[in-house]
Copies of this chain bind each other. A is one copy, B any other.
Amino acid sequence: MKRQTKKQQRYTTRDRMLEASLAVFIEAGTLDLSLDRLAATIESSKRMLIHYFGGKKPLERAVMVRLEESLRAQFRADSFPPGTSLPEVLATLWQRTTHPKARGVLLLTMDLTRRAWSGSKRAKEFYEKQWRIWINLLLEFSPDGTLVESALQLFQGAMLTYLVTGDRENGRRTLERFFLNSGSTNRGSNDQTS
């Protein structure tokens, strides 16, 4: 009952390997993992990884694309009820991003950020794409572009501190205060007229 031709099988095999590789990279929290170790973990061989992807760098690129897809799906606006306020959205995003289970993804993302500042063009694209996704997401909950940008910068800074110290509370409070102490304007309230 073989329904797949050889070529189709090739794609599914490649896809399965890609999926498994991404999982391992997430688990490792970095892309700096030797083909040997990766292959051992996904129960394949370096030989096959190179066969299907053409080398280490192409594999990394494929993983980045796959990760982008995965993250894009995860940070869609429709995961929040309409009318949620910006502070609420950020609080939820904070909890989600710093959740222990998500630590691998966070580490991997930061590893790509590092590659971006180290000169990797593809990693820089990744960073910029992620940034836009978050900005657009937040803009769904507040029309104030500069406020959104500030909030995201703060979020990013808090995330760095969280990664190093492991303290989720501190960042949560910082984000909270950012909106509490913010005076008279309509910061944080979602008064879009859409």
Residues in A lying within 8 Å of B, measured CB to CB: 29-30, 107, 110-111, 113-114, 116-118, 124, 127-128, 131, 146-147, 149-150, 152-161, 163-165, 171, 174, 177-178, 181-185, 187
Q: A30-B118, A157-B157, A181-B185 are in contact. List 18 more A-B contacts (CB 8 A).
A: A110-B114, A117-B160, A117-B163, A146-B177, A150-B154, A153-B157, A153-B161, A154-B154, A154-B157, A155-B157, A156-B161, A157-B158, A157-B159, A157-B160, A181-B183, A181-B187, A182-B182, A183-B183
Q: In the complex, A182 Cα to B154 Cα: how many Å?
A: 15
- Tell me, rounded to whole Å, the shortest Cβ–Cβ distance linking A27 to chain B: 14
Can you identify 20 A-B contacts, CB atoms within 8 angstroms? A29-B118, A107-B118, A124-B164, A127-B164, A131-B161, A147-B181, A152-B157, A153-B154, A153-B157, A153-B158, A153-B161, A154-B154, A156-B156, A157-B160, A160-B160, A181-B182, A181-B183, A181-B187, A182-B183, A183-B185
Bound-state CA distance A190–B118 (Å) is 38
A174 engages B161 (CB within 8 Å): no
Judge whether B116 and A164 touch: CB under 8 Å: yes
Name A103's closest neighbour in chain B (CB-CB): B117
